[in-house]
Amino acid sequence: MALLAEGKMPERYQRNFGTVGIAGQIRLLKSKVAVVGAGGLGGTVIELLARLGVGQLRIIDGDTFAVHNLNRQLMSTEHNIGVNKAYAAASRVEVINCDVQAEAIPCMLDEGNAEKLLKGVDVVVDALDNVSTRLLVNRVTKQYGIPLIYAAIAGFTGQVMTIMPGDNGLERIYRQTNAPNQGVETMLGNPAGTPALAASLQVQEVVKVITGIGEPLRNKLLYFDTEMNVFEILTVT
Amino acid sequence: MVIEVRLYATLRRYRPSIPNGVFTADIPDGISVAELVEKLEIDPAEIHMIMVNGIGREMDGILADGDRIGLFPAVGGG
């Protein structure tokens, strides 16, 4: 941070210079991001945010790694099966970037803890795997005016959107879901590239929201289906 | 009137002869998305998001000649 204050980019962030820049890097390092879920989406989001130099990461996940996670979840290894995902992710952050403080919250986000865990962070990343908790996160981030970076995946498809305070949010995306708490991912599963792609797009959104660079996917749902080479921006207001 | 239908992900299985799920349909004037879905014999419970010309719409939305209708299943994985 001392070098940045002098207008110099530390070596480890040199390759951020042409995009994030000095001012953006300072903002990233001063930011606190909550990542809800440390599985397929969350694992890649956490890895990339740590490398970017987001100063504080709150990692929320009560689940433990299972063998069937190994095909896609970046934080899972053959050595940490049975280990809590939030703890494993925080350990990974420690060895990537000592500028980043990672706080592991080894429990599921729910009605009872959501406000406490999300209040006060600068950005929330939705890396969940079910609709009901997504809608809970959407409600709490709206209540506290926190930007929410949403993504969901199934098979070769995924969708990403940024919900800023005051925007219509996930109620526009999930309004027609009645009972099911999950989508067609229960049928299609998730191959390795899909969560990595959606998570990378989420990370770009985090950077844009924190640094003010570019144009976030606000009221726009980026939908991709790599099986058929479809990338579409859909208007969701 | 003629419209373009785009089926996404698992909904493409309703038209197995069309791998990309994109086809045109000649339908009566002024019908709704729900009526179109019925004509296409797609289970409406599987349709989660509806886009007409790239903008979110409801099942009761009335279609016009030349519209491009995208039908999406629920996506919720992470």
Min Cα–Cα distance to chain A from B26, Å: 24
Residues A108-122, mean pLDDT to the nearest whole number: 98
- Give a yes or no: residue A183 inside a domain: yes
Q: Indicate the pLDDT class of residue A171, thresholds 50, 70 and 90.
A: confident
Share of chain A above pLDDT 90, in %: 89
CATH classification of the domain holding A203: 3.40.50.720
Considering the domain boundaries, does residue B61 fall inside one?
yes
Residues A147-155: what's their mean pLDDT?
A: 97
Number of domains in chain B: 1
In a domain, A8, yes or no: no
Q: What are the tens digits of pLDDT across the range A14-42? A: 999 999 999 999 999 999 999 999 999 99
Q: How many domains does chain A have?
A: 1
Q: Chain A residue closest to B18 (CA)?
A: A228
Residue A18 lies in a domain: no
- Residue B77: inside a domain: no
Q: What is the 3-state secondary structure (H, E, C) of chain A?
A: CHHHHCCCCCHHHHHHCCCCHHHHHHHHHCCEEEEECCCHHHHHHHHHHHHHCCCEEEEECCCECCHHHCCCCCCCCCCCCCCEHHHHHHHHHHHHCCCCEEEEECCCCCCCCHHHHHCCCCEEEECCCCHHHHHHHHHHHHHHCCCEEEEEEECCEEEEEEECCCCCCHHHCCCCCCCCCCCCHHHHCCCCHHHHHHHHHHHHHHHHHHHCCCCCCECEEEEEECCCCEEEEEECC
Do the interacting molecules here have an ipTM over 0.85? Answer: yes
Residues of chain A neighbouring B48 (CB-CB closer than 8 A): 174, 176-177, 183
| pLDDT tens-digit map of B32-67 | 999 999 999 999 989 988 999 999 999 999 999 999
Q: For residue A83, is it within any domain? A: yes
Smallest Cβ–Cβ distance between B77 and the set A153, A172, A235 belongs to A153
Put simply, whether A14 touches B (Cβ < 8 Å) is no
User: Which range of residues forms the domain containing residue A85?
Assistant: 31-235
Mean pLDDT of all residues in A89-116: 98
Across chain B, what does the average pLDDT equal?
95
CATH number reported for the structural domain that contains residue B12 in this entry: 3.10.20.30
Tell whether A62 is within 8 A of chain B (Cβ).
Answer: no
What pLDDT does residue A229 have? 92
> Would you state the pLDDT for residue A178?
57
